[in-house]
Structure 1
Amino acid sequence: MPRAHPAALRRALAYIDDHADRPLTVAPIAEAAHISVRALQYAFRRHLDSTPLAHLRQVRPSHAHDEPAAADPEDGSTVTDIAARWGFHHPGRFATLYRHAYDRSPRHTLRDG
Structure 2
Amino acid sequence: MQHAFRRHLGTTPTAYLHRVRLEHAHRDLRATTGTVAEVARRWGFPDRCRFTVSYQAVYGRLPVLGT
1:50: Cα distance to partner? 2.2
1:97: Cα distance to partner? 1.4
Please say if 1:105 is aligned against 2:62: yes
Secondary structure in structure 1 of the residue aligned to 2:26: helix
Give structure 2 stretches of 5+ with no counterpart: none
Give structure 1 stretches of 5+ with no counterpart: 1-38
Matching of residues 39-78 of structure 1 within 5 Å: 39=1, 41-71=2-32, 73=33, 77-78=34-35
Compute the TM-score of the two structures, normalised by the length of structure 1. 0.52
Aligned-partner Cα distance in 1 for 2:50–2:38: 14
Matching of residues 7-18 of structure 1 within 5 Å: none
**Number of equivalent positions:** 67
1:45: Cα distance to partner? 2.1
Secondary structure in structure 2 of the residue aligned to 1:50: coil
Moved over 4 A (4+): none
CA RMSD of aligned residues (A): 1.6
Aligned-partner Cα distance in 1 for 2:63–2:45: 13
Residues 5-37 of structure 1, C-alpha deviations (whole Å, 9 max, x = no match): xxxxxxxxxxxxxxxxxxxxxxxxxxxxxxxxx
Provide the identity percentage: 46
Secondary structure in structure 1 of the residue aligned to 2:3: helix
In the alignment, what sits opposite 1:87?
44
Summarize the Cα distance change of 1:104–1:52 in structure 2 as closer, same or farther, 3 Å threshold. Answer: same
Residues 23-82 of structure 1, C-alpha deviations (whole Å, 9 max, x = no match): xxxxxxxxxxxxxxxx3x2321221232222210111111110001112x3xxx011111
Aligned-partner Cα distance in 2 for 1:89–1:66: 18
Which structure has more relative contact order (CA 8 Å, sep 6+)? It is: 2
Highest CA radius of gyration, 1 or 2?
A: 1
